[in-house]
Amino acid sequence: MLGRLMKYEIKATGRIFLPLYGLILAFAGLNRLFMYFNLQKKSDFLPNFVSGISMLVYILLVAAAFVITLVVTVQRFRKNLLGDEGYLSFTLPVAVHSHIDSKMIVSLMWSVLSTVVALLSVAILAIGSGLYREIASGWDSVRDFFSQYGASGWGCVVSIVVLLLAAQLSGILSLYVSVVVGNLSGRHKRLAGFGTFLGIGVIAQVVFFSFANTSGVFQSYHDVPLDSVAQMRALSTDCLILAVFCAAFGVAFYFLTDWMLSRKLNLE
Amino acid sequence: MANAIECFNLTKRFPGCVALNEVSLAIPKGQIIGLLGPNGSGKTTLIKIVNGLLTPTAGEILVEGKHPGVETKKAVSYLPERSYLNDWMSVNEMINFFGDFYSDFNKAKAYDMLQRLNINPKDRLKTMSKGTKEKVQLILVMSREAELYVLDEPIGGVDPAARDYILDTIISNYSENAAMLISTHLITDVEKILDGVVFIDRGSIVLSATVDEIREKENKSVDALFREVFKC
């Protein structure tokens, strides 16, 4: 059933993201063309003006992709589960946690895709600019990096990826738990939800800094020489500790959301 | 097991009000029962608990012998009193959605009913009037071959001409073993298809009887009895 929920989740959100991704890539291509023509001949006012506008639209679209990822994460959860559509969602023969799972996974998918599309659009803009030669030469230094640090270099890359995923997932779950708490409070649902989100942020920071200060786990760099394998190891360890920290909060948010949706649900 | 729904001292409290007060009730299989009561009497609260959309404060409820959960949701076909359809979908997509999630959904039946009510399956729900959306929703719910149908105000927003067709559809589409619980204000329209009624007022059951009993003992129609019991 998780697969089917995800299929409809992707359908519901894809109709927003796919056209947006299309526009971003199209405007990247358009801007690349303008750059080409501007280089060919001395610019006069009109093409300059048009290319300026087109570049501005491109930048706004990329920014919008990230804002919309956030907005859709919140809106889709609120409308599909806690609005009128909730009457259908919660009478489908699926477990409550499957709703959270499907929404969380699809939201993560769009966050990753938005980043990929943004990078891709930069790559389009950079066609013929010499960036690719730079990347090719940069590749050599990447190889040097891994030959110098070996397994600890890879360990570092993997722990950074793990940290990014854990942070993104716990971020999504903190939005969900805020929406549900907001929905439970009688009036001013949005305000209460926003307050919860801020409160969660403050609590997470306080817990994190008191943990970091008392345990001293993030002090490990200071004792080892820079550019050493030990330094890489220390960095991976710190990333993983942070990832565990995010994951712990994420798990708490997940079970709290699940419990409230199962036991405290009260659709209007 | 003879009962589709069984409640034992079922209570639901909200801050500042008691929506259901120690309700004990049995809805037998194979019958169409009207859940009747004035606004705010607890009808929708009871229906939401049956469907697992609310958890009771105290007491117990069994739907098809089980506590509300994934298994009972497979067996219950529920029509809420509001539009729950995804606005951006077409009727076709909605039919596929139901087919994907409910194994008892009969697509042929759904398309047949849509044709009878002149609804184009390619239309998007966004473009439809409120009444048409209600019809689509009812068609989706009645196209399931469920063990229990729970209909909350099924014909409230539908024109009188379509009402008769819908009531006929309700009767002809449910199998003999299935039970049906209908909550409505339009008692006269629905009375002819009911086997029994449950009157509910301020969270308590005030009367539970078969329609024949009411006619024989009281010599009244259900509508007349309702007006008498709930006289303002």
Q: How many domains does chain A have?
A: 2
A123 with A160, same domain: the answer is: no
Strand B17-28 and strand B3-14: the pairing is antiparallel
Encode pLDDT of A149-199 as tens digits.
777 778 888 999 999 999 999 999 999 999 999 988 878 888 999 999 999
Q: What distance in Å separates residue A184's CA from the closest CA in chain B?
A: 12
Encode pLDDT of B68-120 as tens digits.
999 999 999 999 988 888 888 999 999 999 999 999 999 999 999 999 889 99
- Cβ atoms < 10 Å from Cβ of A164: 16
Residue to substitute from B20, B48, B141, interface A, most A β-carbons within 10 A: B48
- In chain B, the residue whose alpha carbon lies closest to the alpha carbon of A76 is B86
A114 with A2, same domain: the answer is: yes
- Decide if A214 touches B, using CB distance below 8 A: no
Instruction: Give me the amino acid identity at B197.
Output: V
- Decide if B76 touches A, using CB distance below 8 A: yes
Compare CB distances from A8 to B15, B52, B97 and report the shortest one's residue.
B97
Q: How far apart are CA B3 and CA B31, in angstroms?
A: 10
A173 with A259, same domain: the answer is: yes
- In chain B, the residue whose alpha carbon lies closest to the alpha carbon of A88 is B84
Domains in chain B, CATH or no CATH each: 3-85+147-229 (3.40.50.300)
Encode pLDDT of A9-54 as tens digits.
999 999 999 999 999 999 999 988 888 777 666 556 556 778 888 8
> Does residue A134 lie in a domain region?
no
Encode pLDDT of A55-105 as tens digits.
899 999 999 999 999 999 999 999 999 999 999 999 999 999 999 999 999
pTM: 0.90
Q: What distance in Å separates residue B210's CA from the closest CA in chain A?
A: 29
- Cβ atoms < 10 Å from Cβ of B71: 14
Compare CB distances from B73 to A7, A92, A265 and report the shortest one's residue.
A92
Q: What distance in Å separates residue B53's CA from the closest CA in chain A?
A: 7
Give the CB-side neighbour count of residue A110, counting CA atoms within 13 A: 31
- Decide if A184 touches B, using CB distance below 8 A: no
Q: How far apart are CA A157 and CA A122, in angstroms?
A: 23
Last residue within a domain, chosen from A100, A129, A158: A129
A194 lies in which domain range?
149-268
Which chain B residues are within 8 Å of A92, Cβ to Cβ?
Answer: 73, 101-102
> Does residue A191 lie in a domain region?
yes
Q: What is the ipTM of this complex?
A: 0.93
A123 with A172, same domain: the answer is: no
